[in-house]
Structure 1
Amino acid sequence: MTRQTGAGAPGSPRVAGAPARLAARFSARLEKWLEAERTQLPLWLPVGGVAGVAAWFWLPAPAAWQGFLLLAAALALPGLVFGRGGRIGRAVALFALAAAIGCGLIWWKAARADGAALPHAVVAAFTARIDRVEPLPARASVRLTLHPLMVAPDPRGGAIALPGRIRLTVPLEDAVAGLAPGATLAARARLVPPPSAAVPGAYDYAAVAWFAGIGATGKALAPVRLIAPAPAGGPSLWLADARIALTAHILSELPPGEGGVAAALATGDMGAVTQDDNNAFRNSGLAHLLSVSGLHLTAAVGATMVLALRLLALWPRLALRAPLLLIAAGCGGVVGIAYTLLTGAEVPTVRSLVAALVVLAGIALGREAMTLRLVATGALVCVLFWPESVAGPSFQLSFAAILSIVALHELPWTRRMFEKREEGHVRRLLREVAALLLTGLVVEAALAPIAIFHFHRAGLYGAAANIVAIPLTTFVIMPAEALALLFDSVGLGAAFWWVTGRALALLLAIAHHVGSLPGAVTFVPTMSRLAFASIMAGGLWLALWRTRARLFGLLPVAIGLVMTLAAHPADIFVTGDGRHLAVRAPDGQVALLRQRTGDYMRDTLSELSGREGDEAIALDDLPGARCGPDSCAATLVRGDRIWHLLATRSPYRIDRPAMEQACAAADIVASDRRLPGWCRPRWLKADAALLAGTGGLAISLVRPAVVTVAAMQGQHPWALHAAARPAGAIHGSYRRFSQADEARHHSRNRWRD
C-alpha cells in the first residue's frame, strides 16, 4: 500500500509543520522587536514590582497570594533556563521575578506591621506619650498620634487593652500648652477601631492605619492634662518644634485663606486650609499644589542649584578649577533633604526626594537631567522600601504625572517641535505656551483614570489652570515666601510677605473661579478594578515602548474606558453601621435616609452615586417614598420591576404587627439595629447582625446583586474577618429575584406608615 504524501494527506509534513513554522516566525519577529526595544526593557522591572504589590491588594486570600507566587515562579524558572538564547524568555522571567518580589514584599510588610485594631468602641482614661502633633486651625482642633502608657481600669471590670498607637483629635478649647512630641499627657476619650470603607468604593482608612501602626482613633471627651513636658534636645523633637513654630509664624503674617496655603507650601501642614479652599483646589485640578511633592522639591532644589552656580561663578579661580555643577547638585541635595525633614518626611515627600536625588546623581555624572530610566529607578526604590504606597493615589498620581511628561518629551516629534531654536520672541513664546498646554493635556489624560478610580471625579479645566498656577507657585509664591522667612530674621520681611499674600490671593482666585465653572468636575461613580488595571496597563505600554508597537496600548485603554462607561452604579448604598442609606434615582438624583447626615458621609454617598454632596435630597422627598419619624418605605422602579424598600431611622420600638407586615411586603429591609427573626423581607435583610460581618453594601437592582466591603477587603490583615459573620454570609441572606417574585410585586398591597 502506497503512503500518501500530498498536501491533503493526514500525515503531510507541510500540514504538521505549519503551526511550528508560524510559531517560529512569530518568535523571530518578537525577538526582532525586543532587540529594537532593548534599551526599554529595564523599565519594566519596577512595573513588575508594582504589578506584584497590586496583585496582593487585589487578590482576596493567602491561598490566592500563594497561587500568584507559584504562577510567577512557573513563568520565571523556564524563562531563565530556556531563554538564554533570546530576549523573550529572559524578559518574561525577570518581569515575573519582579512581580513575585513585589507580592512577597508587601505580604511580609503587612505581616510585620503592628496595626492590630481595637476590637470594639470604648471610653477610656489613659496616659500616653505624644509621637506627633498636627495642628488643624481650620477645624479648631489638634490631632495627636499617641503611644499609650497606662490605662485606667474599666468600670465594668477588668482592664482595657489599648493598641500600641492611637490617633486622638482634641478640640482647641480642650488643648493645653506644651503639647509636643515626647510630652506625656492624661486624657479621657471615646476610641473606636480605624474605620473601614463606609460602603464599597469609599476610602478605606483601616488599610492606611494598619501600615501606620494605628489601632484606634477617637476624640477627647474632656480637657487633656499635661503630665510631663517634652524632653529637651534631639533632632526629631527640634524639627517637630520648628515645624509647628514656622506654621504658627506664617499664619500670623498672612490672612487665614492665604496663610493656610502658605503653611502647606512651606511645612506641608494642611491643617489651616479651609474646606472651601480645599474643594476649590480639588475641583480645579490644582490639589497637587497643596501637597509637598515633586513640584515643591523641584522648585527648592532648582532654585538652590541656580543660586549656588551663580554665586560660585563669581569667584574666577573656583569657577576654572572646581566642578561647579557637582557642587551645586550637592547643595541642591542638602536643601532637598532639609526641606523633606522640615515638612514631616511623609512618604510622598520622601518618594519625591528619592526621585530628586536620582536626578541630581544623573546630573553629577553628566547624564541627561530626566529620563525614563531615572523615573523607573525612583519607582523601584519606592516599591522596595514602601510597597504599601503603591495602592495609594499619591504614588499613582505623582509617578503617572512625571512618567507622562518625560515620555511625551522623549518622543522624536515633540523634541523637534519644542526644541529651542533661533526665532523671534513671539514665536518662541507661542511655542513654549503650546508645549505647556500639550503637556498639561497629556498629564490630565494620564491622571484622569486614577482620579476617577479613587475619587470618582475628574476635572476638565485642570490643564488650563495649571498653565498659570504652576509657574505662579514655582517662580513667584515659593521664592517670595522663602525670602520673607529669610528676611524676617532681621525684621525686613514685610515687603516679601505682601508679595506672597497678593500672589496667593491670585492663586486662590484662580482655584475658586476654575472650580466653580459649569462642568468643571465630571463625576464617574463606578470604575471596576479590572477596568482600572486595563487602562493603567495600556498607558504604561504607550509610555514605555518606543516603536510603533506601543500603539497596541490603545486597545486595553479603550477596553477599560468602555467597561467604565458601560458600568451601572449601585442603586442603593447602606453604610456598615446601618445608620445611613442612599438611594440613586433613575435620573441620578441621590436621596439620603437621614436629613442630618454629616458632610463627609453626604459627600461620600453622593460621589459614589455620581453627584455633588450638596445636591442630595432627603428620602422623604423622593417620589414613591413614604416616611415617618421611625421608618421610611420607598417604591423603586428599575426596568420592568418594582422594588419595595423599608429602612428604619430611629432607635424606638416599632409595633410588631405593623412592622411584620411591612417586612413581608418589602424586598429589602435596612436597619442599624438587630431585627427579630419574624422580620422576613422577600430578598435582603441588611440589619446590624448582617452588616457586622459584611460591612457596607452596594446594592444593584437592574441586575440584582450585592457587593460588600468585606468581600472587597478579603482576608487582608485589616479586614472584617474577625467580625461575627464571615464575609460570605451575605450570600445566605438574599436570593435571586424570580419572575414569581415580580408577579407578587403587583398583587400585594403596599405597606404604609
Structure 2
Amino acid sequence: MEEEREQLALWAPVALGAGIAAWFALPDPAGWLSFCCAMLALACGACLVPEGMRLRKLLLVCGLLATAGCLLVWGKAAWSGTPPLARPVFAEMAAEVEAVQAVPAQKMVRLLVRPEGRPDLPKRVRVNLDEGHVPEGLGRGALVQFRARLMPPAPPAVPGGYDFAQRAYFLGIGATGRALAPVTVLRAAKSGPTLRARLFDHILHRVDGHGAGIAAAFATGDQGAISEADAEAMRRSGLAHLLSISGLHVTALIGAVIFLLLKLMALNRWAALHWPLMLIAAAGGALAGIGYTLLTGAEVPTVRSCVAALLVLGGLAMERDAITLRLVAAGALVVLLVWPEALVGPSFQMSFAAVIAIVALAEHRRFRSSTAARDEAVWRKGVRAGVAALATGAAVELVLAPIALFHFHQAGMLGAFANLLAIPLTTFVVMPLEAVALLLDIVGLGAPFWWLVGHALDLLLMIAHGVAASPMAVVMAPAHSGGVFTLIVLGGLWGLLWRTRWRWLGLLPVTVGMGLILTASPPEILVTGDGRHVAVRTPGGGMAILRDRAGDYVRDTLSESAGHDGDLAAIATLPGARCSTDLCAVRLRSGRGDWQLLATRSAMLVDRPALEPACAQADIVVSDRRLPFWCRPRWFRADGRLLARTGGLAIDLESGTVRTVLRPGDRHPWIPAQRSRRGRYPSRPRQL
C-alpha cells in the first residue's frame, strides 16, 4: 500500500461503481439492503486495522463509497424513474410534444410526448411517425392528437440482448409505439426547431452522398441519417466510436479554438506582452467545449470528455501536467454521481476503458521514453509516431474487446489498423473542413468546402467498408454471464491502475475470463420473449430460424446472441424437418443424443387429435400461445404462459439447462409487477 500510495485515489470511482453494479445485479430490496450492510460492516471492520496503515483508510473509504453507490442509484431509480406501461394498449390521446427527432435513414420522425388527461398512461411516451404523415406546425411545445398502439419498453428479446426497458426507465419513457395517421395539431409549436435540429438539417442538405449522415453526426451527435449498411461497416471496422461525440471530437474542437485564440491575440503586441494568453485561450476553449457538449445532447461520452477537458485546461492554465489517471478518475466520479445508471451501459464502459488504457500506456516509462521528442530525421519521427499510434490503437482494442463481446457479442480485430488511417483523416481533414464550411455558410461561400467534406467522408466510408469486408474483421462469441465479465473487468482494472509488479496478477482473471468466453459453445435453441421466433443450431455450425420472414432486427438479435456471423437459414429447409402452415418439427443433435423440437408457427387453432400426439413425441415444445394441459412434451414446454414470466430463453442441450431473461422475484422497477412476482419456473428442466 505504501508503494502504491499515489494510485489509491484511483480506486474511489471503482468502489462507487461497485455499489451501483450491485444494485443492478441483486434482484430485490432485501439483496440491496444486505449489500449495504455488508459494506458498512467492512467499513467498521477497517477500524480494527491498526491506525496509520493505509489499508485501514482504503477499506474504510471503499466500504462507505460502495454503500453510497448502491443507495445513490436506488434513490435515483425511486425518485426520477418512470414505471412502464403494464400491457399493450390502443390509445387515443392529446399530448404535448417535448422533442422531435428526424430519422431520415428509416424514413420516420421520433416524437417524445407527454399525454394530457390520461392518468392511465405513463407521463412520457415515445412514438414513431412516418415522415410522410408529419403535419404542419409539429415541433417542441405543440399539442397534438393521434391514435397509437403503445407497448411497454422492450426487455431483452433473448438472454444477453439489449435491455431497452432498463434504459427507458431512467430516461423517463414509460411506453413506446407508433402513431397512426392522421396526426392533428391542436396547437402549433410556438418556437421553431432547436439549434441542433436546424444544424442537422442544414448539413444533410449541404453534403452529397452517403457521407451526409456522418457529417451531421460529427456536428450534432445525431446518427439518425446514417444508413444501416454504413453503420454496420463502421461497427465491424472498429470505427463506430467516431460517430459518437466523445474525446476525439471535443479535443479537436477545444484544441482548434485554443490555437486560433492564441494566434489572434499574439497579433497584438500589447496583448502578447501583458495578457495571460494561455489562460484566456483555455477559458475560450472551455466555453467552446461546454457549448459543444450541450449542443450535441450531453451524452455520457461527451460529458466525460468535457469534464476531462476542463480539468486538463485548468492544469495547463496553472502550468501543470493534468493528463493523468487521476483526471480520468475525477471524470468518472462526476459522471457516476450525476448519472449512476450509466455504469452498466456500453457507452460509459467503453469510453472510460479506452481512456484508461491510453493514459496508462502513456504513463509507462518505456513507452514514454520511446515516444519522447528527440533530434532526428523527419522520416524517423514519422515512423516513431506511426508505431506509437499503432501500439495505442492495439492497446485500446485489447481493452475494449471484452466489453464489446459482452454487450454486442462481437469485437473488432482490425480496428487498430483502421483507426490509424481514420482518426487522422477525421481529426485533421473532415472536422476542420466541416467547421470552415459552416463558418463560410454565414456568407454563402461554404459550397467548395462541403464538396471536400463529402469526398473526405467517402474515403472514410471506403476504409470502413474495406476493413469490414475482411473475414478477420470481427470475432464473434455467444452471450455470456455477467460474472465472467465482472472477472475480466476487475482483472483489467487491477493491471491498469496499479504500478508495482503485483499488477501483473490482473492477467490471471483476464485470461481465465477470455478463455471462458472464447471457448463457450452457443446454445442450441434460442426463443424470443414473445415465443414467435425460434432459432436453432444446424449440424454445420450455422443457425436456422422458424419464421423465414422475420425482420432484420430479430435476425440480428438472434445471430449476435448465438455468436453467429452469417445468414440465418429457414428451419423448414433443414434435413429431417417436417413443417406445415401451423406446426414445425425438427430433430436436433447434441452430445447427449437427438432431440425433437416442436414449434407453432401460426395463430390458427390446432385440433387436439393432431397436436396431442405431436407434443407427446417431442422433447421440447415452443409456442407463442398458451398450450392446453394435455400438450405434454417429454422434457420442456415453453408456451405463452411460461414466457410471460421468463422472457426469452437460451436452451443448452449439452448441459440440459435453460437461461432466462427474467429472474424469479426480480423487483427492479422497470419490470412490470406481474412479471416480477415470485414463481417457480425451471432454470433446469427435468432430466429425461
Query: Which range, TM-score by smaller chain?
Result: over 0.9
Report matched runs for 1:69-218 at 5 Å. Answer: 69-80=36-47, 82-151=49-118, 161-218=120-177
Please give the alpha-carbon distance, in whole angstroms, between the structure 1 residues aligned to 2:461 and 2:570: 33
1:676-709 deviation line (CA, Å, top 9, x unaligned): 1111112211111111111111111101111111
SS in 2 for 1:730: coil
1:405-438 deviation line (CA, Å, top 9, x unaligned): 0000100001111111111111111100000000
Report matched runs for 1:315-354 at 5 Å. Answer: 315-354=268-307
Question: Alpha-carbon deviation of 1:585?
Answer: 2.6
| Alignment counterpart, residue 249 of structure 2, candidates 284, 290, 296 | 296
Question: Alpha-carbon deviation of 1:360?
Answer: 1.7
Q: Which residue of 1 aligns with 2:210?
A: 257
Change (3 A) 1:393 1:429: same
Q: Which residue of 2 aligns with 1:65?
A: 32
Q: Which residue of 1 aligns with 2:454?
A: 501
Please give the alpha-carbon distance, in whole angstroms, between the structure 2 residues aligned to 1:593 and 1:727: 31
User: Does residue 308 of structure 1 match 2:257?
Assistant: no
Please give the alpha-carbon distance, in whole angstroms, between the structure 2 residues aligned to 1:707 and 1:254: 47
Please give the alpha-carbon distance, in whole angstroms, between the structure 1 residues aligned to 2:552 and 2:460: 26
Compute the TM-score of the two structures, normalised by the length of structure 2.
Answer: 0.98
Change (3 A) 1:713 1:507: farther
| Alignment counterpart, residue 630 of structure 2, candidates 674, 678, 701 | 678
Q: Which residue of 2 aligns with 1:271?
A: 224
SS in 1 for 2:19: helix
Note if contact 1:526-1:567 (Cα within 8 Å) is conserved in structure 2.
Answer: no
SS in 1 for 2:588: strand
| Alignment counterpart, residue 686 of structure 2, candidates 727, 733, 736 | 736
SS in 1 for 2:117: strand
Note if contact 2:311-2:322 (Cα within 8 Å) is conserved in structure 1.
Answer: no
Root mean square deviation of aligned Cα? 1.6
User: Does residue 580 of structure 1 match 2:533?
Assistant: yes
1:119-151 deviation line (CA, Å, top 9, x unaligned): 111111111111111100111100011111135
Note if contact 2:303-2:335 (Cα within 8 Å) is conserved in structure 1.
Answer: no
Q: Which residue of 1 aligns with 2:401?
A: 448
Q: Which runs of 5+ in 1 are unaligned?
A: 1-33, 152-159, 233-237, 742-753
Q: Which residue of 2 aligns with 1:562?
A: 515
**What amino acid is the match of 1:699?**
I
Note if contact 1:710-1:720 (Cα within 8 Å) is conserved in structure 2.
Answer: no
SS in 2 for 1:223: strand
Could you tell which deviates more after superposition, 680-689 or 384-393? 680-689
| Alignment counterpart, residue 50 of structure 1, candidates 10, 13, 17 | 17
User: Does residue 284 of structure 1 match 2:237?
Assistant: yes
| Alignment counterpart, residue 630 of structure 1, candidates 582, 586, 590 | 582
Note if contact 2:651-2:658 (Cα within 8 Å) is conserved in structure 1.
Answer: yes
Please give the alpha-carbon distance, in whole angstroms, between the structure 1 residues aligned to 2:439 and 2:685: 69
| Alignment counterpart, residue 706 of structure 1, candidates 658, 678, 682 | 658
Question: Alpha-carbon deviation of 1:494?
Answer: 1.3
Please give the alpha-carbon distance, in whole angstroms, between the structure 1 residues aligned to 2:510 and 2:325: 21
Question: Alpha-carbon deviation of 1:721?
Answer: 4.2
Could you tell which deviates more after superposition, 34-43 or 353-362? 353-362
SS in 2 for 1:187: strand
Runs of 4+ in 1 over 4 A off after TM superposition: none
1:58-109 deviation line (CA, Å, top 9, x unaligned): 1222211111111111111221453422111211221222211111111111
SS in 1 for 2:197: helix
**What amino acid is the match of 1:722?**
Q
Q: Which residue of 2 aligns with 1:154?
A: none
Larger Rg computed on CA atoms: 1
Note if contact 1:526-1:568 (Cα within 8 Å) is conserved in structure 2.
Answer: no
SS in 1 for 2:194: helix
**What amino acid is the match of 1:608?**
S
SS in 2 for 1:629: coil
SS in 2 for 1:191: strand
Compute the TM-score of the two structures, normalised by the length of structure 1.
Answer: 0.89
Please give the alpha-carbon distance, in whole angstroms, between the structure 2 residues aligned to 1:125 and 1:43: 52
1:463-521 deviation line (CA, Å, top 9, x unaligned): 00001111111111011001101001111111211211111111111111111112211
**What amino acid is the match of 2:155?**
S
**What amino acid is the match of 1:595?**
D
Please give the alpha-carbon distance, in whole angstroms, between the structure 2 residues aligned to 1:134 and 1:534: 39
**What amino acid is the match of 1:680?**
R
Please give the alpha-carbon distance, in whole angstroms, between the structure 2 residues aligned to 1:731 and 1:481: 57
SS in 2 for 1:36: coil
Please give the alpha-carbon distance, in whole angstroms, between the structure 1 residues aligned to 2:144 and 2:520: 51
| Alignment counterpart, residue 667 of structure 2, candidates 715, 718, 733 | 715
SS in 2 for 1:189: strand
